[in-house]
Amino acid sequence: MPQGNKDETITSAEEYLTRRKMMAAASAMVTGGVAGCFSEDTSNGNGGNGNGGNGNGGNGNGGTATIRTFMQSVPSELNWNTWAPSYPWTPSWLLLEPVQRYYADGSMSLELIEDWEYDADSQELTVHHNEEFSWWNGDAATAEDKYWYGEVARLLNPESSDFAALTLENNGGTIVREYKEPQNPELVGNWLGGYLGEMMRGRRDKFRPWAEELQDATTDDERVSIEERMGEEMPLDMDTFIEEGLGLGAFQAVDYDDQGIYCELYEDHPHADNIEIDELEYVLASGDAIAQQMMGGDLDFGFAQLSNWLGDQNPDHMETIGEYENTFMRKLEFMMNGSASKHIRQVEFRRAIAHLLSLEDISENFATPNTVRTAQTGLPEAVTEQRMGDYVDDFIEYPVEADNEGAAELLNSIDYEQDGDSWVDDEGEPISLEMVVPSWASNPARTVADKLNNFGFETDLSVLEGTAFNDNTEESIDFDLSMFNHGALIAHPYAYFRPTHDAGNKLGTQDVIVNTLENGERRSPYSGKEIIVELPEEVGQEDLSGSTQEVNLYELFQEWLSADTEERSQEIAETFTWFWNFYLPGIDMFQPRSGSWGNTEKWEFATDNKDWQAYRGAFHAAMRGHISPK
């Protein structure tokens, strides 16, 4: 079966029979990873309706519109406390609500938030919540929920927190976050959700007692002890989640067992009147059975492209819904601490590799539908067009198809030469590269390794599973090439150049970077990459022979976060994208196309809206009434 990527797929499965059959079946239970597809029993009268009904399945003859999604974690093992193990990250996108939502085109919508403003003088971000949403127990969802949840996070780590203080105003309808440092007014609007971002993840009554206890804590040991007890003494299991109504999504969990979570439309949800789905069943399933059920017409819709699950199969009843370009690209990353660092640290060598590779071939060998990245700006095409405009017109051009001759010219310019079937450096030593990638990148990595080997660079490729790969990249990186995501859910240039993030510039942790700079060093001991670079002042110049400027990538990024004018923010964005184009710390290879899929024989999908054009778009579309039975 086709292998998806970690942003868009699940990693485990079992065959869905019907709820009643599954309760009697021997099931393979798995935990960890990502999940999310909807399904419906599409039988015409012979199937179970999932809740002990009259034998009419799904939205068939029985009159009850039932939709199902699958999950990969055993419901009885879930814990809705984010400070405890087994938090259900993917189900939270269906059973909770976002306070704000990011779209692939870089725009944002306010969901539980009415309005916000940032005061540069006081460094206060004021967020006014609306009164439209309520928890399943009937309590209004307000800023007070975010306040007590955020206070726990802030007080557990008061020194490292970005906030000097949190306060409540307007009878709990407004939260004010006072930052320790000045903020960029353009960027701060992306962070209206506070701790753990855009979702409303905790009700006030659950976290207030812990925040009040933390207010009296004076030492790190006390705080650690409280955090440990909070994880142990407040297990928000499914019984508690259901009985106390701790969700606020459009579908209220009313029952569960080892095979799934069973939900009904929450009538007090602000979008309930627009929703034509009566029941939702979130059943345990995974693996090849997903494709089998899709082909058999048992599943109704889910996230990611149809081909992510079915490969080249195209059943008549299934279509991809709401396709869009993902905000994440996939990059070939140059690491500069490995045994081949002598080569990798030379920009001409990195550019030579860019000439060697056929991005078209790499793209074709990645299972998920994608678009080749034709320009090396460090940004997706849409973000480049919207944010950079004609600034990038004079950038250095890199080929999309293999250009061996251009690669040879670049290598010759640094005194490398061909020796038979191999290439040798300026000391006559053969080129040997080590490439280590996570499992999602196995196919594109093999394409790259084959090309490098055929050209004359001995390239050893290792493909590691998630945990093993993370272990090999946690403390330091001692290999030469790898592949990573490049980007974020927020389609703003700053997200693509974060110095401490794998999906950014990957220079190491903040402590590592700061210590390196304090010691007067210019390269990160974590990845070997330069923190301080010389950059041509003339955009498009291919060497350092003219006027240059010294750029501290870490300090410039910190300035970006606090830049107080749009003009300065734009200047910094331009500097970073020119840095990427000139130094080529990585090669953006392709940009996956995202979207959702649906059973168009059984359901209508209204796609004339932006709700599909975002992370877990299928989930949000269901909760906003964009899916209805035929």
CATH number of the domain to which 198 belongs:
3.90.76.10
Is the pLDDT assigned to residue 7 strictly greater than 70? no
Specify whether the CB–CB gap between 132 and 142 falls below 8 A: no
Compute the distance between CA of residue 528 and CA of residue 573 in angstroms, rounded to an integer.
Answer: 23
Query: Which contiguous run of DSSP H or E holds residue 143?
Result: helix 143-156
Compute the distance between CA of residue 345 and CA of residue 337 in angstroms, rounded to an integer.
Answer: 9
Looking at residue 285, its pLDDT comes to 76
Is the pLDDT assigned to residue 61 strictly greater than 50? no
Predicted confidence band at 28 (pLDDT cuts at 50, 70, 90)? very low
How many domains are contained in the chain?
3
Give the type of residue at 187: L
The b-or-e profile of 489-520 (16+ CB within 10 A means b, else e) is bbbbbbbbbbbbbebbbbbbeeebbeebbeee
Predicted confidence band at 345 (pLDDT cuts at 50, 70, 90)? very high
**Closest-CA residue to 336 (of 588, 522, 557):** 522
Which of 8-22, 67-81, 532-546 comes out lowest in average pLDDT? 8-22
Same domain, 614 and 571: no
Is the pLDDT assigned to residue 47 strictly greater than 60? no
| Domain, as residue range, for 410 | 329-592
Rounded average pLDDT over 72-84: 94
Is 572 inside any structural domain? yes
Same domain, 212 and 338: no
Rounded average pLDDT over 556-577: 97
DSSP 530: B
Within 10 A of 8 (CB to CB), how many other CB atoms are there?
Answer: 22
Q: What angle do CA 524, 528, 532 make, to 5 degrees?
A: 55
β-bridge pairing 260-265 and 318-325: unpaired
Is the pLDDT assigned to residue 522 strictly greater than 80? yes
Instruction: Please state, rounded to an integer, the average pLDDT across all residues of the chain.
Output: 89
Same domain, 129 and 218: yes
Same domain, 179 and 275: no
List beta partners, residue 115. Answer: 128
CATH of the domain at 516: 3.10.105.10
Same domain, 271 and 397: no
Q: What are the phi and psi torsion angles at 310 (to 5°)? A: -110, -5
Predicted confidence band at 42 (pLDDT cuts at 50, 70, 90)? very low
Is the pLDDT assigned to residue 289 strictly greater than 90? no
Same domain, 49 and 138: no
- At 503 the three-state DSSP class reads coil
Predicted confidence band at 62 (pLDDT cuts at 50, 70, 90)? low
Is 240 inside any structural domain? no
Could you tell me the two tokens for 41? 């029993």
How far, in whole angstroms, is CA 481 from its chain's centroid?
22
Which of 15-24, 520-529, 587-596 comes out lowest in average pLDDT? 15-24
Rounded average pLDDT over 362-377: 95
Same domain, 497 and 534: yes
Specify whether the CB–CB gap between 437 and 482 falls below 8 A: yes
Same domain, 346 and 290: no
Is 12 inside any structural domain? no
Could you tell me the two tokens for 351? 């550019």
Is the pLDDT assigned to residue 25 strictly greater than 70? no
Q: CB neighbours of 433 closer than 8 A, spacing ≥ 6?
A: 338, 340, 343, 452, 457, 458, 459, 460, 480, 481
| Percent of residues, the chain, with pLDDT higher than 70 | 90
Compute the distance between CA of residue 468 and CA of residue 438 in angstroms, rounded to an integer.
Answer: 9
Looking at residue 1, its pLDDT comes to 35
Identify which has the larger pLDDT, 36 or 597: 597
Is 241 inside any structural domain? no
Is the pLDDT assigned to residue 595 strictly greater than 80? yes
Predicted confidence band at 368 (pLDDT cuts at 50, 70, 90)? confident
Predicted confidence band at 367 (pLDDT cuts at 50, 70, 90)? confident
Predicted confidence band at 70 (pLDDT cuts at 50, 70, 90)? confident
Looking at residue 519, its pLDDT comes to 97
Within 10 A of 542 (CB to CB), how many other CB atoms are there?
Answer: 11
Q: What are the phi and psi torsion angles at 289 (to 5°)? A: -60, -30
Could you tell me the two tokens for 478? 């001692």
Identify which has the larger pLDDT, 42 or 80: 80
Report the largest interatomic distance among the alpha carbons of the chain, rounded to a whole angstrom: 81
Which of 22-36, 466-480, 522-536, 585-599 comes out lowest in average pLDDT? 22-36
Q: Which residue has the tokens 């997706």?
A: 380
Give the tens place of pLDDT for each residue, 323-344: 999 999 999 999 999 999 999 9
Is 562 inside any structural domain? yes
Same domain, 40 and 169: no
From 233, 268, 302, the end of a domain falls on 233
**Closest-CA residue to 2 (of 308, 315, 285, 293):** 308
Is the pLDDT assigned to residue 174 strictly greater than 70? yes
Same domain, 105 and 90: no
Same domain, 446 and 536: yes
Q: What angle do CA 180, 181, 186 make, to 5 degrees?
A: 125
Give the tens place of pLDDT for each residue, 236-248: 999 999 999 999 9
Is 378 inside any structural domain? yes
Is the pLDDT assigned to residue 597 strictly greater than 80? yes
Looking at residue 60, its pLDDT comes to 46
Is 609 inside any structural domain? yes
Looking at residue 97, its pLDDT comes to 98
Is 242 inside any structural domain? no
Is the pLDDT assigned to residue 541 strictly greater than 60? yes
Q: CB neighbours of 182 closer than 8 A, spacing ≥ 6?
A: 120, 123, 562, 564
From 208, 233, 258, the end of a domain falls on 233
Same domain, 88 and 105: no
